[in-house]
Amino acid sequence: MAAGTEEHQTLVGDDSFVSLYRRYRPGTFGALRGQPHVVLALRSAVRDDRVGHAYLFSGPRGTGKTSTARILAKALNCTNLDDGEPCGVCTSCVEITKGTSLDVTELDAASNNGVDAMRDLVSHANLGTPGRWKVYIVDEVHMLSNAAANALLKTLEEPPSHVVFVLATTDPQKVPATIRSRTQHLEFRLLGSEVLEGLLRDVRTEAGLELDDVALATVVRRAKGSARDALSALDQVAASGVGVEVTPELAAVVEGLCEDDATRVLVSLAELHEAGWGPQQLATELVGELREGFLSLLAPSLSEAAESDRRRIADQATRLGLARLVRAMETLGRAQVEMRDAPEPQVVLEVALVKVARADLEDSAAALSERVARLERKLAELGATGGASPAPPTASAGLPAPAAPSEQRSVPAVPPRTAPTPAATQAPAAAPAAVVPPSTPPAEPAARPSLGALRRQRATGAAPIEHPSSPLPTAAEAPAAPTAAPPPASAVPGGRSPQEAGGTAGLPMLDCEQLTALWPEVLGSLPGKAKALLAAGRFVEVGTTVAFALPNAAHLAKASDVLGQLRASLAAHHAGASTVELVVDPSGPAPAEPGRALEEPTSGEDFEALEAEASDATNLGSLAETKILEAFPGAIEVTD
C-alpha cells in the first residue's frame, strides 16, 4: 500500500475529509489488487514499448477499471519509469493523480453520449500535449448512442501516433462489435473475500481505525467482491462505530414456509413491514436467507451465515427440502422483477410467499414435483419409524367398507308391483318371512349388493344370501321339490356339475315380486324376437315352477318358440328361477313392463306383423354387430 499512501498524502494535503475509496485508490500496478492478469499485460506492454492504441476494460463495479486507466496514463508519461511502474512523484504522475494533467482527458459517456461530444473529442485528438502520450479515458462507453459510436470509429481505428484510448464499461455486451474489434479487451473480476479482507486490514492500519475482525468480516460480506463497496462500507462502520450488520429477522417467515402456514408467513411479513423494511429489501434479504439454506444442503463450506444462525438455517433447509428451496428462490426472483413496476409491491411479495407456502395453489411442474417429493418423504419417514400405513377408506368417506369373508351379503329389497295382482296369483304362504329383530337396523342402500351379486353367487356355488328386511325362504321352508339324483357330469355340457351349469342347488327360489324386479334385466338380455314376444308378459305365480303369463292363447302359441331362450336367460340371472312355464293371463293384459309393450294380437295377420317386427329387431341387432366387427378388424364376437 506504499503507492496508496503517497496518493493519500497528496489528496488530503488541505486537511479536508476524503472518502476511503478515494484516499486509498491504487496509484501503481503493484498496488492494484485482485487483477494479476491485467497487471501483467499492461506492465509488460509499457516496459517493452508495445502499448496498443485502444483498450477496452470491462467488469463489475468497483474492481479498478478507471484506476487502472489512470495508472496506465501515469506509466506512459512518467519520467522515472521503473520496470513498467510509474514513480508516482514526478510532475506528470502528481498532476494525473490530482486530475489537472493536460495529457489525460476523462469523459463520462453516460452524460456525453451524443454525436457532438464525440466530434469534439475527435477534433482535439490531433492536438499536442506536454507529455509523450495523450490518453482518452471514456467511462461507461456502452451508453454512447449509435451516431456517437459511429463518429468515434474512424479515429478509434487509426488514432494519431501519440493518442491512446481507454474505454471502460460494466456491460460489454452492449458495446458495438465495431468498437470491440478495434480494441484490446481486458476483463476485470470481482475480488475474493481473502483479497478484500487483506485490503481492509491494510486500510484499517494506515487510517488508524479501531475496528475488530468481526466488523471487517461484516464489511467483506456486504461488499460482495467490490473494493469500492468494501471501502465505502468500512467508512460507514467507522463513522457509526457499529460493526454488526442490521438485517431483518426472517427466521419467523422461513419457519412459516417450513410448516406450510401461510397465515404465519403473512403475519411475520406484516410485522417486518411495520418495522420499516420495504418489500423490495425484504425480498432481497429473503432470497439471501434461502440461499444460505440452499448452500447448507449442497456445499456447507460456501455458506457465509453467522455461526449462531447456521444450525437454524440447516434445520429449516432440511425441512423445506432442496426442490422447495429452489422453487422458493425462483418465485421470489420473479416477484422482485414484478415489484419494480407494481403499484403495490407488498402485495406481489405476499402472493409469492403464499404460493411457496401452499404448493396446491400452483399447477406448475415444479409445484407438482414438490408435492410428490413431500409425499415420498413422508412415506419414507413412516417406513423409518415403523408407523402403520394409512387405513383404507371406509363408508364414512363415501366408499363402502370392505366386508369380512365370513359376512353374508344381503339381497336388495324388491319393490312391490304397482299393478294389482289377483289373490290366486300371490306367492304361496308356505314360505313365511323371517322376523327381523327390532334392534337390527335396516341395511343402507349403499351396502346392498346389485343383482349381479346373484350371478356371482351362483357361479361360485356359495351359501345362499339373505336380506334382513325381505328374507328369502330357507331350504327347510322352501317347497319340497321332487327328489331326484343329480345327472352325471357327462350329461352336462362341458362335463360340469349342475351347480356349475346353472342348476338350482344351493340357491333359493325367488318369489313373484323379486322376479318382477329382476325382469327388466332379463328382458334386456334376450334376442330381438324373444324380447318383442315376451315384453307384454308378467310373472303371476311361483310354486314348483314359475308361471309366466301372456295376454292370450294366440300370443302364448307364438311365444312357445322362445321359451327356451327365456329359461336360459332366467337361469343365467338366477338359477332358482330357471323352471318357467307359459300360461294365459287369467286377468287379461297387464300394464307394460319396462320395454316396449305389444298390442294383443287377435288374428293371424296381427301375428304375422308381430313376427315381422321381431325379425326386423333381430336383423337390426345383427346389422349393428356386423358394422362393429367391420370397424375393428380382427375383433371377434363373444356370446355369454
pLDDT 10s digits, 79-137: 998 889 999 899 999 999 998 999 999 999 988 889 999 999 998 988 888 889 999 99
Task: Output the nine-digit C-alpha cell for 150.
Answer: 459511429
CA distances from 146 to 47, 193, 373, 435 (A): 36, 39, 52, 102
CA-nearest of 360, 421, 438, 376 to 549 is: 421
Write the single-letter amino acid at 446: A
Write the single-letter amino acid at 197: E
Give the residue, 508 or 465, on which the prediction is more confident: 508
Phi, psi of 165 (to 5 degrees): -100, 135
Instruction: Please work out, in degrees rounded to the nearest 5, the angle formed at the alpha carbon of residue 327 by the alpha carbons of 321 and 329.
Output: 100
Instruction: Report whether 27 contacts 3 (CB < 8 A).
Output: yes
Q: Is the predicted pLDDT of residue 552 greater than 90, yes or no?
A: no
Instruction: Report whether 335 contacts 349 (CB < 8 A).
Output: yes
Convert the pLDDT of each residue in 259-268 to its tens digit. Answer: 989 999 999 9
Give the residue, 390 or 206, on which the prediction is more confident: 206
Rounded Cα distance, 349 and 44, in Å: 52
25-34, 515-524, 544-553, 559-568, range with greatest mean pLDDT: 25-34
Convert the pLDDT of each residue in 487-497 to its tens digit. Answer: 443 333 333 33
- pLDDT at position 9 is 40
Residues 6+ apart with CB under 8 A from 540: 421, 422, 425, 512, 547, 548, 549, 583, 585, 586
Q: What is the mean pLDDT of residues 233-258?
A: 82
Rounded Cα distance, 99 and 592, in Å: 113
Rounded Cα distance, 563 and 582, in Å: 8
CA-nearest of 64, 61, 58 to 199 is: 64
Q: Could you tell me the pLDDT band of residue 391, with boundaries at 50, 70 and 90?
A: very low
Write the single-letter amino acid at 421: T
pTM attached to this predicted model: 0.53
Convert the pLDDT of each residue in 277-336 to its tens digit. Answer: 999 999 999 999 999 999 999 998 888 777 778 889 999 999 988 988 999 999 999 999
3-state secondary structure of 591: coil
Residues in the chain: 640
- pLDDT at position 639 is 57
The burial class, CB within 10 Å (0-12 / 13-18 / 19+), for 515 is buried
- pLDDT at position 57 is 96
Rounded Cα distance, 278 and 263, in Å: 20
Give the residue, 611 or 12, on which the prediction is more confident: 611
The burial class, CB within 10 Å (0-12 / 13-18 / 19+), for 388 is exposed
Conformational region of residue 208, where left means phi above 0, alpha means psi within -120 to 50, and beta covers everything else: left
Give the residue, 183 or 588, on which the prediction is more confident: 183
